[in-house]
Amino acid sequence: MRVLVTGGAGFIGSHVVEALRTRGHEPVVYDVRTDPGADVRDAAAVARALAGVDAVCHQAAMVGLGNGVADAPEYVSRNDLGTAVLLAAMAEAGVGRLVLAGSMVVYGEGRYTCPRHGVVRPGPRAVADLDAGRFEPRCPVCGAELSPGLVGEDTPADPRNVYAATKLAQEHLAAAWARAMGGTAVSLRYHNVYGPRMPRDTPYAGVASFFRSALARKAAPRVFEDGGQRRDFVHVRDVAAANVAALEAESAPGALTAYNTGSGEPRTVGELARALAEACGGPEPVVTGEYRLGDVRHITADSARLRAALGWRPRVGFAEGVREFARAGLREERAPSR
């Protein structure tokens, strides 16, 4: 299969390219890092890149929480306009298979259970609570403490920041394309991806990159809130393997199918910071109590559907992956994309 990989020279995209080659496919890299003219918003350039292509693996995106709403036009341009241009070109070229780099951020806060009211969906955390160090969401009905759980793909979306809103819009655009063209579309809703080739800390990098970058400078990782935020840190090679599995699978035409893509091993942000510090032989993390508006407290999703439908399973455990990441170099990132 000849596969166009947008963002194919980036952190995740480069691993997808390697995984495709290993499986005997022919990846075609489309990335502004290797070709300044390879912008997914350039309809003519995208049309040329699609010549002879059987499928598209769409990794190119502006990622991370960024700088609040000030970045909104750039996020929407890169993520949503870029996806719309790509899908229109695919329709024109008759390319009917798409795998999209989705994100678990579309859910907003994770799944919570109240001892009195069962499953509830807390709203955004109040600034007054965050300022006071009250980081855990409370039951919106009775104010009781909540127990976090795993989010399934059928959970209603609730994006809490600009980046999350653009990732959900990408899925809606892909679903509309699939319905109109009879194409197959899969969105892999990535959890917190980490591993070799992660970009050096920028406003758009993930928390694993921030911690690793600090340790490279012999500085202590700075942990926001109290470090108790639950996430699912999934290794980049496992994510790449999920992309290949989705490309090779028989998917239902005319619809978009979403799959949570995580390790299945929820960890706290504090755990990651401590594990990286130990693996790097660096200073202990510092818990700052600071916070970022738009961050959610706990988000870990159930990846059972992906395992059952595509036969995929993660192979890199947390301890092994952290040790490798501690040894791996970080790369400079010229553009805020994967």
Average pLDDT over residues 222-236: 97
Residues 10 and 331: their CA atoms lie apart, in Å, by 10
DSSP state letters, 59-84: -----S-TTGGGGHHHHIIIIIIHHH
Q: Which of 54-68, 129-143, 240-254 shows the lowest mean pLDDT across its residues?
A: 54-68
Domain boundaries, the chain: 2-110+151-327
Q: How confident is the model over 20-44, as a mean pLDDT?
A: 97
d(CA 234, CA 238): 7
Distances (CA, A) of 196 to 94, 136, 164, 200, 235: 35, 32, 24, 11, 9
- SS3 category, 175: helix
192: Cα separation from own chain's centroid: 6
Q: Which is the CATH superfamily of the domain at 2-110+151-327?
A: NAD(P)-binding Rossmann-like Domain (3.40.50.720)
What pLDDT score does 202 carry? 72
Say how far apart CA 191 and CA 105 lie, in whole Å: 8
Does 176 score more than 90 pLDDT? yes
Average pLDDT, the chain: 94
Pairwise CA distance, residues 234 & 221, whole Å: 20
- CA 21-201-319 angle, to 5 degrees, is 65
Report which of 41, 20, 25 is spatially closest to residue 337, judged by C-alpha positions: 41
Q: Which residues contact 237 (CB under 8 A, 6 or more apart)?
A: 15, 19, 195, 315, 316
Token pair 């700088």 is found at 67
Please identify which of the residues 30, 75, 112, 163 carries the catalytic annotation: 163
Distance CA 142, CA 337 (A): 41
Active-site residue flag, 30: no
pLDDT at 200: 85
Share of the chain above pLDDT 90, in %: 88
Confidence at 336, pLDDT banded by 50, 70, 90: very low
DSSP conformational letter for 203: T
pTM of the model: 0.94
pLDDT value of position 8: 98
CA 137 to chain centre: 23
On whether the CB atoms of residues 286 and 223 are closer than 8 A, the answer is yes
Cα 70 to Cα 74: distance, rounded to the nearest angstrom: 9
